Amino acid sequence: MNIGIVGATGAVGEELIRLFIEGIDKKEINNIKLSLFASSRSKGMVINEGNHELLIEEFSLKNTADCDVVFLCVSGDFSLKYAKELAKNSIVIDNSSAYRYDSDVPLIVPPVNGSCYKGEKLIANPNCSSAIALVALKPIHDRYEIEHMIVSTYQAASGAGKNGLIELKESIKSFGNNTLVNKESKYFKYNLAYNVVPQVDNFLDNAYTKEEMKVVWEVKKVLDDPNIKISVTAVRVPVIRSHAESITLKFKNKVNNISDIKEMLKNTEGVLLKDDVSNNIYPMPMTSTHNNDVEVGRIRKNLIYEDYGIDMFISGDQLLRGASYNAYEIFKRLLY
């Protein structure tokens, strides 16, 4: 199979290349020809990954014409311009939000709703915060039926790409006696060094950011339940890769025992249960970074809803389950 990765030099593209190479080396996938595409600036660059040397080509519809599957790890504007055209020849997995909310485009988190795939040529990969939460939410919703969900996020700098990461590290270096030498930021709304910024993406008319509404829309779509009511506060924190989320859930059905939920999540694909507070074991970016599974923990009865609600904390690698690994799984489980 011919696989094209567009946006091969970006943070998500790089991870996706690594996952494919790893899959090929481990013989999880065979007969794969990997073609990498980026803008003209990166044309001719060579990517070394494991024992593989891969040349970057300039993206064009012509250059990608013989790809069976094309991954778009690019901006929403780029996807809006090319995804439908590409989908005439290839199956397209789009990492942007451009088509996620179209009723005829499936939005897929493989362990959650992979079975909804009906052979569409354009497939949407979810937002990072949604994807990370959904692997844990699915079994909980199936058993207890989520009525309300309140989320506050702790989102890593990697969400703003490689340049955002470099800026964060450089800014922190220049941080003197409790003040920044240069408070400007090119890649975030405000400099993120020793700061938290309660804005990810732009604001919409309802005073929520688009990032916040993406979680609202995507959780309903992927769980295929428009009745769940969701409110989100999305916040950027000075962390490199992994996002974390504080989640409050209110259920229709009674939770008899918190340990039932833990047991269930222990056996849930894509979830790594980290919940042993007596030994200070809980999810953290420090431990979830570079792992495909989402850490879930601090599961406890919510003090408001009592037997009908829980609080929990999750952390997952934004570039993996939150982006490239989910896209790779869509390929491996549904298309390969």
Task: Give catalytic residues, as residue numbers.
Answer: 128, 243
- Tell me which DSSP letter residue 116 carries: G
Instruction: Tell me the DSSP string of 128-194.
Output: HHHHHHHHHHHHHHHHH-EEEEEEEEEB-GGGGHHHHHHHHHHHHHTB-SSSBS----SSSSS--TT
CB of 204 to a copy of itself, least distance (A): 9
**Interface with a copy of itself includes 45 (CB under 8 A)?**
no
Nearer to a copy of itself, 23 or 198 (CB): 198
Binding mask 205-244 for a copy of itself (x = CB under 8 A): -xxx-------x------------xxxxx-x-xxxxx--x
**In this complex, which beta carbon is closest to a copy of itself, that of residue 84 or of residue 148?**
148
Measure Cα distances from 58 to 8, 43, 68, 76, 290 in Å.
10, 5, 18, 19, 29
State in angstroms the smallest separation of the CB of 153 from a copy of itself. 9
Q: Is 304 in the site for a copy of itself (CB under 8 A)?
A: yes
| Helix (DSSP H) and strand (DSSP E) numbers for the chain | 9, 13
Is residue 302 near a copy of itself by the rule CB under 8 A?
yes
Q: Is 144 in the site for a copy of itself (CB under 8 A)?
A: no
> How many residues in the shown chain lie near a copy of itself by CB under 8 A?
60
* C-alpha dihedral sign at 304, 306, 309, 314: positive
Q: Which is nearer to a copy of itself, 84 or 189 (CB)?
A: 189
Please state, in angstroms and rounded to a whole number, the distance separating the CA atoms of residues 229 and 148: 5
Contact region with a copy of itself (CB under 8 A), list: 85-93, 124-132, 149-157, 324-332 = 149-157
Question: Which residues neighbour 11 within 8 Å (Cβ) at sequence distance 6 or greater?
Answer: 158, 161, 162, 165, 319
Binding positions for a copy of itself, 271-300, rule CB under 8 A: 277-278, 280, 282-286, 289, 297-300
Q: By CB under 8 A, is residue 268 in contact with a copy of itself?
A: no
Residue 117 and residue 106 in contact, taking contact as beta carbons nearer than 8 Å: yes
Q: Decide if residue 154 touches a copy of itself (CB under 8 A).
A: yes
Question: Tokens in use for 32?
Answer: 């794969």
Sheet holding 122-124, edge to edge: 46-49, 52-58, 33-38, 2-6, 69-72, 91-94, 122-124
In the 8-state DSSP scheme, what is residue 91?
E
Shortest spacing between CB 208 and a copy of itself, in angstroms: 6
- Candidates 172, 201, 220, 332: give the one binding a copy of itself (CB under 8 A): 172
Query: Is 246 near a copy of itself (CB under 8 A)?
Result: yes
Neighbours of 198 (CB within 10 A): 14
Pick the closer one to a copy of itself by CB: 125 or 153. Answer: 153
Per-residue interface string for the shown chain with a copy of itself, residues 187-206, x marking contact by CB under 8 A: --xxx--xxxxxx---x--x
Give 79 or 209: the residue with its C-beta nearer to a copy of itself: 209
CA distance 64 to 117: 24
Q: Which residues contact 91 (CB under 8 A, 6 or more apart)?
A: 68, 69, 70, 121, 122, 123, 335
Nearer to a copy of itself, 80 or 277 (CB): 277
**CA dist 307 → 144, 257, 296, 298, 313 (Å):** 11, 8, 20, 16, 18
Instruction: Give residues in contact with a copy of itself (CB under 8 A).
Output: 148, 150, 152, 154, 169, 172-173, 175, 178, 180, 183, 189-191, 194-199, 203, 206-208, 216, 229-233, 235, 237-241, 244, 246, 248, 258, 277-278, 280, 282-286, 289, 297-304, 311, 313, 315
